Structure 1
Amino acid sequence: MNSNDEEIRSADGTRLLVRRAGAGDPVVLLHGSGGGLHSSASVAARLAGSYELWMPARRGYGPSDVPEGRKSFKDDVADLLAVVETIGRPVHLVGGSYGATLALHMAAAEQSRLQSLAVFEPPLFAAGQSIAPLLDRYQAALEREDAGEMSTVLNDVTRGPPAIVAAFAAAPGDKRPDPAEARRSAIGWLHDLEALTDDSTGTARWSSITVPTLLMQGADTWEPMPTTMNELAAAIPTARRVIWSRQSHFATMTAPDLVAVALRDFFAGPDSR
C-alpha cells in the first residue's frame, strides 16, 4: 500500500501529521489510545484499493504536535474538522476505542461533514470525575518514568481482566519497546486521560446522531464494554450492529479482514445487501 504523509494545521495552529493512501471515496480512520500513524495500517491496506484513507496522528501523539495544557474532546473535534476541511467533501468516519469516542463527538457536533459513522468499542464507561484519581496517578508515574505504575493505572482505566493483561504484557517476549515510541505513546495516553476525565459517561446524548451508523464489537470483550455497547445501541436505535465471535477489544489488530469486510459492506449502503 503506497502512502504519503502530509501536515495539516488545526484552528489553534496545532500541527497534525496525516497519512494518506488509496483513492476513491474518503475514509478517515481514528486511532485509539497508545496508537499512532501505524495503528490502522492493516485495515487500511485492505481498503486502499477502493477508498482514499486518511489516518491522522491525533494531537498529543508524535509526530503530530503535543500542545501545552490540558486536552479536551473539543480540541480533538477541531483537529478532525481541519482534516475533513482539507479533504473537501463529506467522509466516512471510522474510530476505534478512544478514536470511537472521538468519532461520536464529531458526529454529534458536525453531522453535515459525514457520510457515515463506524465505531469499534468506544470506552464510554471510562470517563468523568470518577477517573480523575487515575489521571493524577498516571501523571505522577509519567513524571518519574515509572512504566510499571503507568501500566497498572491504564489497566484500572480499561478494567482488563488479569489473564488478558498478563497475556498482553507477555506478547512481546524478549523484544524491548523502542524508548522513543514508548515515550510518545505514554504522553498521548496522558492527554487522552485528560479529555476522558472531563467527559461524561452518558449515552443518551448520542441519540442526536442521525447519519448511517455502524457499531462494531468483539463477543469476547470484557465488561463493562458489552453493557456499554448495548446502551449505545439503545441510544442510536437506527444503527447497524456487528458482533464478531472469538474477538475482543483487539479485533482491529487480530482480525483486520473482518473489520475491512464489515466496513466495505457498510459503506456500500443498504441497497447492496
Structure 2
Amino acid sequence: MKETDIINYIKKFGIEDEDAAYIKNDEYLCFTTDTLVFSTDVPEEMDLKTVGRKSVLMNLSDLAAMGCKPLLFLCSLNLPRDFSDIKKVIDGIHSACKEYNMKYAGGDVNEGELSISGFAVGKSKRILRRNAAKEDDLVCITGDLGRVYCYFKEAKRDIFKEKVFNPVPRIKEGQILSSYANACIDISDGASKELNLISELSNVKIELETLPIHPSVIEISKEKAFDYALNSGEEFELIFTIPKKYKNVIEKVNATVVGRVKSGEGVFYKGKKIEKKGWEHLC
C-alpha cells in the first residue's frame, strides 16, 4: 500500500485529518507527528545539529498550518548501536525548540535504523483545516517555491541550500491566518499534491493562475521552473484559501495570490488538470 492508501484506511476509524485537535477551555490543543529518516531525508552534507533542528522544524510546520502556537515537543530517537554522535542531534533539537519558545519535553530512545520521530503540541483559538475551502476564496502561498527541488536536481548553490538546511516554519503567519483563512496546509510533499488535497477534502475546484517561483529557480531551470515549483517537496510554506475581503492579511503574511476557488473538482492551470505529484512514501 502507498502512503495515501494507508492514510485513507486509517481515516475509516473516525480520523478526519493527519493532525489532531481537541478543544479544552475554549482553546484547541493540536497534535502532530512527523518522522525524519536519515537514509531518505538527510543530505550527506547536512551536519547532525542541523538534522536535529530539522526534525523539530518539520513538525512546527504542521502546527503552523493549523494556526497554532507551539507548546512542547517530544521525540523518539531510533539509533544504531554504533552511533556515537547523538549529542549533536539532541543539541539541534533543543536549539530549535528554544528558538520557537517550545518546551523540549523528552521522548524515547530505541535501537534500529537511524531516524527521529517527532511529536509536537500546540494551541489555537481557531484551527485551520484542509477541508474548509469556500467557493470564491483566493488561493495563496507564502514565501517562494522551487529552491528545494533545484538543490537536489540542479545545483548545490547556497541560495538553494538555505531552504533545505534551514527551512522557516510559518508559525507567525499561521497564527495570523487562524483568524481569517478558511483552509490551510503546509507544503511538505509538493504544491501539486497539497492543492489537490484541499480540492478533494473541500469538494471544490481550484483554478491556479501562477506560483511564487524564486528568481534563482527561473534563472537555472528556465522553462522547467513552473514544474519544479509545483512539485518541490519540503518547502514548508503555507497554502491557504481566504475570502477576498481579507486582501490586507495576504500582504501581512508575505503571501502571493496564486488562484481562485470555484465550484467543481480538481486543480487546473490554464485549462489543464494538475495531477497529484510530489513526494509519496512507499511508492
Larger radius of gyration: 2
**Normalising by the residue count of structure 1, what TM-score does the alignment of the two structures yield?**
0.25
Higher helix share: 1
Structure possessing the higher relative contact order (Cα contacts under 8 Å, 6 or more residues apart)? 2
